[in-house]
Amino acid sequence: MVTRQEGRDGMTDVAARRTSVAAEPVLFGVVRFEDDGSGRVRDTMITFRSAQEAEAFALDRCWTRYQVCALRFFVEEKPAELGDWMVLGGHLDHLVTRRARRLR
């Protein structure tokens, strides 16, 4: 039995008000279940740019019990600080921390 799901229902975290969920899924994953019908997850593969890519991955490997789903990540909204990693211009860059020179 193959189960597929491309849900748009996001989870909300009421306790953490500074946490948000992306409105639209950006990435997709595929979850493979054990063949014994127990519903236990055997393994998970992420990140695919489309549900079709995730499904093709499962089909290429002859998986019979899997589910394709949208991935959503909780992101804490905080300003960037010196020394943080950020995506700038499509590349992962490290914000440089400049230290004052020691005078001797």
Report in angstroms the alpha-carbon separations of 26 from 21, 76, 95: 11, 17, 25
pLDDT digit string, tens, across residues 50-104: 999 999 999 999 999 999 999 887 766 666 666 666 565 555 554 455 555 666 6
Give the separation between CA 46 and CA 57, rounded to whole angstroms: 10
Q: Which pTM value belongs to this model?
A: 0.49
